[in-house]
Amino acid sequence: MDWSDDDVDAVIDAWSEILPDLDLTPLDVMSRLRRVARDLQGIREHAFASAGLRAWEFDILSNLRRAPDGESMTPSQLSAATSTATGTSTYRVDRLVVRGMVARTDHPDDLRSRLVTLLPEGRSAVDAAMRQLVGAEAELIRDLSRGQVATVVEALRTIATVSAKPAAPRRNGRRTR
């Protein structure tokens, strides 16, 4: 594997000369993470498209596929699981109903609610997209040992935990702790 300098190294080298007192380690990590995230977005979109899906369709279908109650969820459960507004979720489910990937049925235990259920067409599409996605992502990490993968996963979990915390409130333009 070629470990020669990349564009992030060039940015860090330049900033090191401008601000020699500043530890640029976060930039070294986060700039690469941002670039990988950008590339992953394209890989994901390609994987979903190969199965005839868009990212939002995959999101809904995969939530239904993993649903604990047998590939069915209420619209409010789907909305919460996909972090979308109920109106957006309804519109998206409508599109998937038209495509024959999901169906709406009466909820057997709650007359006020409905269920969104994954149909065979949707199951086939989401399974194909997942297989394509995992294959493409496996290619990205093929040169890493299991130990390296475990280290990356642990580090990313830590970063994700910190980034998910709400920012401290600001007072006079400065963060308080």
Q: Is the pLDDT of residue 176 over 70?
A: no
The mean pLDDT value for 134-152 works out to 96
The mean pLDDT value for 133-150 works out to 96
CA dist list (Å): 83 to 43, 64, 86, 110: 22, 14, 9, 23
Sketch out the chain's domains with CATH numbers: 7-156 (1.10.10.10)
Cα(47)–Cα(53) distance, integer angstroms? 9
Model confidence band, residue 174 (pLDDT cutoffs 50, 70, 90): low
Cα(73)–Cα(96) distance, integer angstroms? 14
> Which residues have a Cβ under 8 Å from the Cβ of 136 and sit 6 or more positions away?
43, 46, 47
pLDDT of 170 reads: 61
Cα(158)–Cα(150) distance, integer angstroms? 12
Cα(130)–Cα(127) distance, integer angstroms? 5
pTM score, two decimals?
0.80
pLDDT of 157 reads: 95
The mean pLDDT value for 80-86 works out to 92
CA dist list (Å): 128 to 30, 52, 125, 135: 32, 9, 5, 11
pLDDT of 85 reads: 93
Cα(102)–Cα(169) distance, integer angstroms? 43
The mean pLDDT value for 43-68 works out to 96
